[in-house]
């Protein structure tokens, strides 16, 4: 499938940043990585979600929008393809799991306006990984502020993504089940997932592949 704008998405710990980085390097694409490390509310949110959910979601929405707007408009003459490890829709997905009803109503009004300003990807790839494996990955990479993430929270995030997929028949969405492969450490597995992304012909709506 030919595309200029590819999104690699997934739950926390799915390996989206690693895959996006490898694909961008190999195809000489411009790489957009989410700048979440500098978010001052994130560590506080993981410790006290009820108190910090709204400011963390607002800050993410603002940061993601500003970054995508800048990066997608600033095209490189020698890098016509773009690979990103997130999409702005991530804000809407996570907010449904973290915000109270009145907060969510306000947030969704803001998101509906802002999201119109961001281009749609030519292909949206979601790496599907079991929650048990996600927790192992989170523990292994050792980010201190992620160690309190609960099993139930990851389940709700996963449900949020699939609810989003069902509602978006205007996007080319490819869900790849990666539970049985290791594209990080195994070259043959990486080649398989790369071919699945670049050589497939996917319709609008939800497409699913098990590797």
| Residue 181 burial (10 A CB sphere; 0-12, 13-18, 19+) | middle
- What does the pLDDT look like over 63-86, one tens digit per residue? 999 999 999 887 766 667 999 999
Mean predicted lDDT score pLDDT of the chain: 91
**Contact (CB, 8 A) for 146 and 137:** no
Candidates 85, 148, 169, 170; catalytic one: 85
The topology under which CATH files domain 5-210 is Rossmann fold (3.40.50)
Residue ranges per structural domain of the chain: 5-210
DSSP-derived secondary structure for 109-176: HHHHHHGGGSPPPSEEEEEE--HHHHHHHHHHHT-GGGTT--HHHHHHHHHHHHHHHHH-TTSEEEEE
Residue 1: pLDDT above 80? Answer: no
**For this structure, is 50 an active site residue?**
no
Residue 180: pLDDT above 90? Answer: yes
- What does the pLDDT look like over 4-51, one tens digit per residue? 999 999 999 999 999 999 999 999 999 999 886 677 888 888 788 889
pTM (2 decimals)?
A: 0.90
Q: pLDDT confidence of 3, banded at 50, 70, 90?
A: confident
Residue 199: pLDDT above 90? Answer: yes
3-state secondary structure of 187: helix
Q: pLDDT: is 148 or 126 the higher one?
A: 126
Query: What pLDDT score was predicted for residue 148?
Result: 77
Q: pLDDT confidence of 188, banded at 50, 70, 90?
A: very high
């Amino acid at each position: 499938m030919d595309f200029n704008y590819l999104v690699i998405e997934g739950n926390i710990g799915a390996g989206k940043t690693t895959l996006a980085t490898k694909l961008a390097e190999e195809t000489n694409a411009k790489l957009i990585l989410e700048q979440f490390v500098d978010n001052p509310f994130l560590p506080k949110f993981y410790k006290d979600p009820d108190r910090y959910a709204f400011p963390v979601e607002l800050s993410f929405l603002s940061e993601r929008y500003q970054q995508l707007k800048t990066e997608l408009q600033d095209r490189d003459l020698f890098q016509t393809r773009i690979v990103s490890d997130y999409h702005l829709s991530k804000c809407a997905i996570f907010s449904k799991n973290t915000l109270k009803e009145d907060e969510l109503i306000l947030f969704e009004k803001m998101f509906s306006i802002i999201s119109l300003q961001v281009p749609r990807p030519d292909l949206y790839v979601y790496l599907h990984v079991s929650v048990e494996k996600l927790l192992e990955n989170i523990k292994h990479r050792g980010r201190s502020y992620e160690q309190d993430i609960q099993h139930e929270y990851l389940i709700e995030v996963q449900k949020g993504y699939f609810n989003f997929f069902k509602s978006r028949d205007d996007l080319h969405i490819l869900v790849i089940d990666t539970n049985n492969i290791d594209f990080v450490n195994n070259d043959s597995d990486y080649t398989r997932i790369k071919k699945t992304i670049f050589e497939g012909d996917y319709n609008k709506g939800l497409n699913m592949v098990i590797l």
